[in-house]
């Protein structure tokens, strides 16, 4: 399998039910995660100095990276655009939240970050499904490669 086929799977033979399920999961978790990013963006000036700095790069930069993962990457996830690429910052953000920021907390405190983490890892493994921009790009690549 080449990198372009990994990033842009064509999904010619998949069932509609499977792809519909992936679409619903992408939209549902994408919107939920996007809301977290939007809230952080709207309160940026009041929380940028208080935000955790688990990577040691400064509170503002940690907050900006988190907003990027939660807002920009979520938007791309909803549409299935570069899904496997945009899931990487989302997975990293949830790993940092679960293992570092809330590492010593009770599971009930870090449960939400765990649910997001597992969901994003599973979406990374499965790919976006046939109802996505990645699938459209993948079909175009496959057709172009077959034609010439």
Note the pLDDT tens digit of each residue in 84-140: 999 999 999 999 999 999 999 999 999 999 999 999 999 999 999 999 999 999 888
pLDDT at residue 1, as a whole number: 62
What is the Cα–Cα distance from 41 to 66, expressed in whole angstroms?
10
CA distance 11 to 110: 35
Instruction: Tell me the C-alpha distance between 39 and 99, whole Å.
Output: 22
Closest CA to 141 of 12, 10, 19: 10
- Confidence band of 7 (pLDDT split at 50, 70, 90): confident
Residue 80: predicted pLDDT: 95
């Amino acid at each position: 399998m080449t990198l372009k086929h990994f990033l842009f799977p064509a999904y010619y033979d998949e069932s509609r039910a499977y792809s519909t399920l992936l679409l619903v999961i992408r939209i549902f978790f994408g919107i939920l995660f996007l809301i977290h990013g939007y809230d952080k963006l709207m309160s940026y000036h009041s929380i940028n100095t208080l935000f955790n700095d688990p990577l040691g790069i400064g509170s503002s930069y940690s907050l900006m990276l988190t907003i990027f993962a939660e807002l920009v990457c979520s938007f791309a996830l909803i549409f299935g655009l570069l899904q496997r690429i945009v899931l990487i910052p989302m997975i990293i953000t949830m790993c940092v939240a679960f293992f570092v920021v809330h590492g010593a907390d009770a599971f009930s405190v870090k449960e939400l970050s765990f649910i997001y983490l597992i969901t994003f890892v599973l979406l990374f493994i499965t790919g976006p499904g046939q109802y996505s921009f990645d699938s459209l790009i993948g079909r175009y690549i496959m057709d172009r490669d077959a034609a010439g």
